[in-house]
Chain A
Amino acid sequence: GNSVTQMEGPVTLSEEAFLTINCTYTATGYPSLFWYVQYPGEGLQLLLKATKADDKGSNKGFEATYRKETTSFHLEKGSVQVSDSAVYFCALNNFNKFYFGSGTKLNVKP
């Protein structure tokens, strides 16, 4: 079946620290992989995506690489800001259906 596992939070970092949020998946076929971000009181927003193996998605300083050999799509950012505080969801889309991880809350302190 299809499923996504991501690290439990919350993750608390100081401003300018390096961020990694781990995400692994199981899927049949060739899914697309996504990271969504949810700010308080708002809907999920697409952060980045990758549609095939070895693709790297990037946006706003965040990046993630589609690793088929390790079935992973870890989210990274070199220097986080307070404004990055939010909940991050890893997801896969297979045959037009989304499967989400449980979300990781990120708190960035000044």
Chain B
Amino acid sequence: GAVVSQHPSRVICKSGTSVKIECRSLDFQATTMFWYRQFPKKSLMLMATSNEGSKATYEQGVEKDKFLINHASLTLSTLTVTSAHPEDSSFYICSPELEGTDTQYFGPGTRLTVL
């Protein structure tokens, strides 16, 4: 089956610092990557969609200058939370779409805690 990894799985940082989260599709290529955010006891909320080599498309209410997305290759995408604040503490999940299909797979998530 399709394997998706995220690194780190957990990160604790101080307010004002930036955090980079990596998402890799280990055994397939993903033209499109979706990034989600999950609040406790809430559903996953789509943050942005990126296509390899193109700028990401952000959902309404998501600050593109705060959540920087880079989709440099068909197997790697990164989400950088810049100048993190406590309200950015959340569970971030990536979802690469198998190239040539509309099938999405999900990473295990990254728990971000901003102190």
A binding-site residues for B, Cβ under 8 Å: 4, 36, 41-45, 89, 93, 96-103
Contact = CB atoms under 8 A, between A and B. Distances in A.
A100 B93 contact: no
A59 to B, nearest CB: 13
A45 B104 CA distance: 10
B44 A43 contact: no
Contact of A41 (B34, B49, B108): B108
B105 to A, nearest CB: 8
Contacts, number: 37
Contacts of A45: 106
Given A43-B4, A43-B93, A44-B93, A101 B43 contact: yes
Contact of A98 (B4, B46, B109): B46
Nearest to B5: A43
